[in-house]
A = this chain, B = another copy of it.
Amino acid sequence: LRPTPEKKEEKERVRLALLRGTLRLAAVHGFPSLGLREAAREAGIAPTSFYRHFEDMNELGMALIHDLLEPRLRELADSLQSADPGQGPADELVARTFKFIEEDPELLRFLLAEQHGAFPAFRTALRTRLAALAEAVHAASGPGTPLSAAEASIVLLLDGAGRALDSEPGARQAVAVRLVETMDRLLSNPQNGPGA
């Protein structure tokens, strides 16, 4: 008794509408203040239909992390493998991250907010995924760079992304440039000077 692929796709579409609608609302009011009925309304389904997809809003939040955010972060990490090895990873990483800001600001806002938000399950899940990104940065950095510096560079990256989100789109380029400088300062070996 398996459902036809078309039925599966249909269900997937509604599920995605719930995820995207929730992100849209969370960008305005914040995820923790959202209710199940609000999410269902935004997705265009009846409140009771919510339960066909998620048990509650927490489960939906975890799906946001797993289904939407994780692929994005993996993409960022993978892009560092093919980056210019003479340059250091900061430039490539910031460029990709700011493209991410343009393409999906709501998802980034969610990441920023819940990274230090009140729900421990979100914090833990997000930190795990950001740690993986930090490892990729570490691998793409010079041999003298400690892992803690790579981790710190991710922290700066996220904070810079948050500042960019709150800036006018025209001012974002300046934020990006300063961010790359600071990350380079942190990642490059002080003994050898920056960029070596």
Contacts and interface: CB of A to CB of B under 8 A. Distances in A.
Contacts of A118: 26-31, 33, 109, 113
Given A33-B33, A117-B30, A155 B148 contact: no
A28 B30 CA distance: 16
Interface residues on A, range: 35 or more
A71 interface: no
A76 to B, nearest CB: 18
Q: How many copies does the complex hold?
A: 2
A107 interface: no
A11 interface: no
Interface stretch (A44-52, A86-94, A186-194): A186-194
A117 B113 contact: yes
Contact of A194 (B30, B181, B190, B194): B190
Main secondary structure of the interface of A (DSSP, over half): helix
23 contacts: A26-B118, A27-B118, A30-B117, A30-B119, A31-B118, A33-B33, A33-B118, A109-B118, A115-B116, A117-B117, A120-B166, A148-B178, A148-B182, A149-B185, A152-B159, A152-B182, A155-B156, A156-B156, A182-B186, A185-B190, A186-B186, A190-B193, A190-B194
